[in-house]
Structure 1
Amino acid sequence: MTEFGYFLACEEHGPGELVEQARMAEQAGFTALWISDHFHPWNDRQGQSPFVWSVIGALSEAVSLPVQTAVTCPTVRLHPVLAAQAAATSAVLLDGRFRLGVGSGEALNESILGGAWPEATVRLEMLEEAVGIIRRLFTGEQVSHHGRYYTVRNARLYTVPEEPVPIDVSAFGPQAAEVAGRIGDGFITMEPDPEPIERFRRSGGGAKPVAAGLKVCWGPDRDEAVRTAHRLWPNEQLPGELPQILPTPQHMDQASQLVAPDRVAENVTCGGDVDAHASTLRAYVDAGFDTVYVNQIGPDQQGFFDFYRTKVLPELAG
């Protein structure tokens, strides 16, 4: 049976707001949390980007829900050794209720250290090597590694959970889905399409869990909700690899000027129609996802949680 979680957006909310949203999500009946891991927001109007690992520490004290990063890029901005230490500590704080979601990243966050942004095939190679290092460190043993992209010398994690942290891999294209199947403990993607899931399972993923995330904009006035979604998250509608290669929020904003409000209205569930929200989530259920994470765009978080608690989640349970 598909579970429904809440997707905390670090790009749009400060750390205190995120912790309060997590509390509201648990009270509303959501059963898990995703949290994004960014250095920059996608655009200046979103306006936030707290350090995710600090927020996870606060979440461990605020809620009893499992938490996963969606997703961490453990290849450039955060060396795999440091990603492993952060994930292991998070799992200890959360008593094992933590999964590390990883992906190949975006220039928006990873190019800040000044290096060249690799092409997609290289990023996947880096990710695969990084995941191998992280898994070795989760054992608590001393690790040295001399690979194509990373060198590790005499590294050992002394604070580790009883069981290694599961690592789920995010993928959007066929090659990435095959890498996820080969190296992941689970699969993360965003579209209600069964084909990537099937590719993941054929490539070694088997019956491992698959999860998806989506954004909605609840509000009593659909037109106003569309305007809010278009103002804050037009980047969600940019095509292809463009979101992965643009280096700054300003560049992302320039590209997003090509996204018309009508495109947002067609692709983002907006307004207060219960059937529309339930139908959107059912598409993910029908595609075969084990967990679906929903994010509310905009400031009216309490209205969203009340709506889902009283209307949408009961409809899906029925």
Structure 2
Amino acid sequence: MTRFGYTLMTEQSGPKDLVSYAVSAEQVGFDFEVSSDHYFPWLAAQGHAPYAWSVLGAVAHATDRVELMTYVTCPTMRYHPAIVAQKAATLQLLADGRFTLGLGSGENLNEHVVGKGWPTVARRHAMLREAIQIIRELHSGDMVDWKGEYFEVDSARLWDVPEVPVPIAAAVSGDRSVEQFALLADHLIAVEPDKDLVDSWHDARRATGLPGEVRVIGQLPICWDTDRDAAIDRAHDQFRWFAGGWAVNSDLPTTAGFDGATQFVRKDDVADSIPCGPDLDAIVDAVREYWEAGFTDIALIQVGGDSQEAFLKEAAAPLLDKLRSASH
């Protein structure tokens, strides 16, 4: 059965609001909740970027049922992997085993703030591979010493290790990243409904005797509103960065850069790529591409911090009913 999630979009809401939305999303029936982990919003119009791990700790305490996940954390630049290992273990304890650590190779927008420069894609992937290995070692609870190509760990041990191991999901985008991470991670994260990518992930795991049918976790933006024109305006104002694609987005360093790179994106372009307005069936059709491509978990981003309460109160429950009915 396909599971549907709600995105705690740290770029468009403050921390207290995010916790409130998380509680409401659980009550309305979402299966899981994912949180972005940014130092900057993509566009200044979004207006927020609280610390995701503090928010998730509060959400773990305030909720009971929904699974939680970072979507995604970069454990290589802004955070050392030993620190990510500790944060993830602690959050798993707070969440009583409901947490999955979603990891990716990062975006310049967030990682540049510590002044270490911005590596090439190949080097970022190599760093992520090493980081995952370190996190796995530390989650064993043993003392760890590590001297690798990119990281060092000196006599580190996690003293609070959850009984339920922290699953790791890795964000991939092509055959090369599938080859590098299918055997290291437990689950797949992808941002496009690419069936070939999903099949390649499963095949790579089966070829080495690992379980092939694991979670495939996707995400897509929607902009529900009773007024379609208002929804399009909001999506254009706050989410037109999405039009650049991840190959471009990962390299831009500032909100001003995203603003400049998307200045010629039209409202019609946004409306063509993001379902906008009150039509729930149009949202279902957009989400359908993901489960047809083999995604097991699909998280929705409701665009606009000011629209969350209305979405959760008026649209979320009937939308979930339609999604579950259509995906059976």
- TM-score interval (norm. to shorter): over 0.9
Q: In 2, Cα distance between the equivalents of 1:307 and 1:177?
A: 39
- Contact 1:278–1:315, Cα closer than 8 Å, also in 2: yes
Unaligned runs of 5+ in 1: none
Partner of 2:108: 107
Q: CA RMSD for the aligned pairs?
A: 1.2
- Contact 1:28–1:308, Cα closer than 8 Å, also in 2: no
Which has the larger displacement, 298-307 or 103-112? 298-307
Distance 1:118 1:249, change over 3 A: same
Partner of 1:264: 270
Q: In 2, Cα distance between the equivalents of 1:54 and 1:239?
A: 29
Distance 1:11 1:309, change over 3 A: closer
Partner of 1:119: 120
Does residue 238 of the first structure (1) align with residue 244 of the second (2)? yes
SS of the aligned residue for 1:4 comes to strand
- Contact 1:180–1:186, Cα closer than 8 Å, also in 2: no
Q: In 2, Cα distance between the equivalents of 1:236 and 1:254?
A: 13
Does residue 211 of the first structure (1) align with residue 212 of the second (2)? no
- Within-5 A mapping of 1:27-42: 27-42=27-42
Partner of 2:319: 312
| One-letter identity of the residue aligned with 2:292 | D
Q: In 2, Cα distance between the equivalents of 1:10 and 1:276?
A: 26
Deviation digits for residues 218-267 of structure 1 (CA, Å, limit 9, x no counterpart): 00111210110010011111035111111111111111113221110100
Partner of 2:300: 294
Deviation at 1:85, TM superposition (A): 0.5
What's the TM-score, normalizing by structure 1?
0.97
Does residue 87 of the first structure (1) align with residue 88 of the second (2)? yes
| One-letter identity of the residue aligned with 2:99 | F
- Contact 2:179–2:204, Cα closer than 8 Å, also in 1: yes
| One-letter identity of the residue aligned with 2:82 | V
- Within-5 A mapping of 1:66-85: 66-85=67-86
SS of the aligned residue for 1:183 comes to coil
Unaligned runs of 5+ in 2: 206-210
Q: In 2, Cα distance between the equivalents of 1:250 and 1:112?
A: 15
Q: In 1, Cα distance between the equivalents of 2:52 and 2:307?
A: 22
Give me the identity figure in percent.
Answer: 41
Deviation at 1:154, TM superposition (A): 0.1
Q: In 2, Cα distance between the equivalents of 1:31 and 1:315?
A: 15
- Contact 2:29–2:317, Cα closer than 8 Å, also in 1: no
Q: In 2, Cα distance between the equivalents of 1:202 and 1:266?
A: 33
SS of the aligned residue for 1:233 comes to helix
Deviation digits for residues 102-148 of structure 1 (CA, Å, limit 9, x no counterpart): 00001111111112211001100000000000000001110000100
Pairs aligned (count): 318
Distance 1:307 1:189, change over 3 A: farther
| One-letter identity of the residue aligned with 2:318 | K
SS of the aligned residue for 1:54 comes to helix
Distance 1:225 1:184, change over 3 A: same
Partner of 2:56: 56
Partner of 1:3: 3
Deviation at 1:317, TM superposition (A): 2.5
- Contact 2:41–2:48, Cα closer than 8 Å, also in 1: yes
What's the TM-score, normalizing by structure 2?
0.94
Deviation digits for residues 48-105 of structure 1 (CA, Å, limit 9, x no counterpart): 1111111111001111211000000000100000000010000010011100000000
Partner of 1:228: 234
